[in-house]
Chain A
Amino acid sequence: MSDDDDGVEFISNPNRIRSRVKLVPGRDASEMISRADRSVGQLAGGFSEILSESLEQVTAARRDVEGAGDREMGIARIRKVLHELRGQAGTFGYTLISQIADSCCRFIDRAPTLGPREAEIVAMHVDALLAVRASDIKDATEPAGAELVTGLRQVTQQHAAGKGQG
């Protein structure tokens, strides 16, 4: 089943999944989803372990960045860990950790070069994450959380505007 249109061919999708699922009349999925949400929430206990491991990894990578190690490689390692963290933290309601990790990843992705100033800004994000964990701040509605997010936003915006040197 195809339809040629000057180099474009349309192929009917057999939609195997549709043929394998069954619509259950009279039942609403909302209850199942709420139950699933509660069930996923129970996995949150495992997240504190993940957070500790992640922060150990970024702290080790940061030492390389600030020491004699390969700066770019160290920042890439930090980004990899924080990229995973931004998704996982949000899933378990740790929105502030997710926001800071996301800010750092976006900063790294957009930075044209990764010099000493960029390494310093990445380190500020790592410090912020350590502070959040130490103070057990969950989101940016808490004053300390809001202050951290605002501070990091200013720094990254100034850097993007070319005022980040020095």
Chain B
Amino acid sequence: MKYYDLSDIRVLVVDDNRFMRNILHHMLKTLGAGKIEHARDGGEALALLAEADYELVLSDWEMERMNGCEFVRTLRGDRGARNRLVPIIMVTANGMIHTVLEARDSGVTEFLVKPFSVDALYRRILMVIESPRQFVKTKDYFGPDRRRRNDPEYKGPFRRASDEKSRASG
């Protein structure tokens, strides 16, 4: 597995559970992340993100006050936000499909289901580094392109105006 030196990145961990923040901090530190900061909810995270540049955010989903989904939507929806395009890995113990879809539609970059190992966390970070997705802006969405795969064998409609099948069916 490729070895990246992460000592020059700044990471924000957003979680309302102190123990979970500590675990994530510890994992990131042992993976060599340079600066690791913490926020206890989405509101605190937005305040920190307005003050400095971050290369990565790890956010819990269920938090009191502002939860992870609201936090991501607010950040992605703010045209002037300093870290609007920052990669966000959503970390949650709720791996139900509707949660995954809601996270995706709020604009998260990657999804990590608890419990997870250091290996799983590192692989998500590798994905963020090596397979960045362009951002998409539509009238009701701003975030990473939700079409992760580029399958040359795919024959269905792409649901873009440039796609003939979409025009024919729509």
The residues in A between 13 and 46 inclusive whose CB is less than 8 angstroms from any CB of B are 13-18, 20-24, 27-30, 32-33, 35-37, 39-40, 43, 46
CA distance A46 to B87 in the complex (A): 30
Q: Is the CB of A13 within 8 A of B132?
A: yes
A residues less than 8 Å from B23 (CB atoms): 40, 43, 88, 91
Q: Is the CB of A8 within 8 A of B3?
A: no
A10-B134, A17-B128 known; A90+B31 contact, CB < 8 A: no
Instruction: Say how far A161's CB is from chain B's closest CB, in angstroms.
Output: 19
Q: Is the CB of A21 within 8 A of B4?
A: yes
Q: Is the CB of B132 within 8 A of A18?
A: yes
Instruction: Say how far B88's CB is from chain A's closest CB, in angstroms.
Output: 12
B residues less than 8 Å from A15 (CB atoms): 129, 132
How many residue pairs link A and B with beta carbons under 8 A? The number is: 148
Q: Is the CB of A9 within 8 A of B118?
A: no
Instruction: Say how far A124's CB is from chain B's closest CB, in angstroms.
Output: 20
- Which of B114, B117, B122 is in CB contact (< 8 Å) with A86? B114
A residues less than 8 Å from B116 (CB atoms): 91
A residues less than 8 Å from B134 (CB atoms): 10-13
Smallest Cβ-Cβ distance to B167: which chain A residue: A6
Which segment of B5-13, B41-49, B100-108, B148-156 sits at the interface? Answer: B5-13
CA distance A12 to B85 in the complex (A): 10
Instruction: Say how far B13's CB is from chain A's closest CB, in angstroms.
Output: 14
The residues in A between 110 and 133 inclusive whose CB is less than 8 angstroms from any CB of B are none
Instruction: Say how far B60's CB is from chain A's closest CB, in angstroms.
Output: 9
- Using C-beta atoms within 8 Å of the partner chain, give the interface range for chain A: 35 or more
Does A138 sit at the interface, judged by CB under 8 A? no
Q: Is the CB of B4 within 8 A of A13?
A: no
CA distance A36 to B20 in the complex (A): 16
Does A143 sit at the interface, judged by CB under 8 A? no
Residues of B participating in the A interface, judged by any CB pair closer than 8 Å: 1-6, 8-9, 17, 19-20, 22-23, 26-27, 30-32, 53, 55-56, 62, 85-87, 92-94, 96, 114-119, 122, 128-130, 132-139, 144-145, 160-162
Other 5 A-B pairs with CB < 8 A, given A46-B22, A84-B93: A8-B138, A16-B85, A36-B31, A37-B119, A98-B115
14 A–B contacts from the bound complex (CB under 8 Å): A5-B162, A8-B137, A8-B161, A15-B129, A17-B128, A21-B6, A33-B118, A37-B118, A39-B26, A80-B62, A84-B93, A87-B20, A87-B93, A88-B17
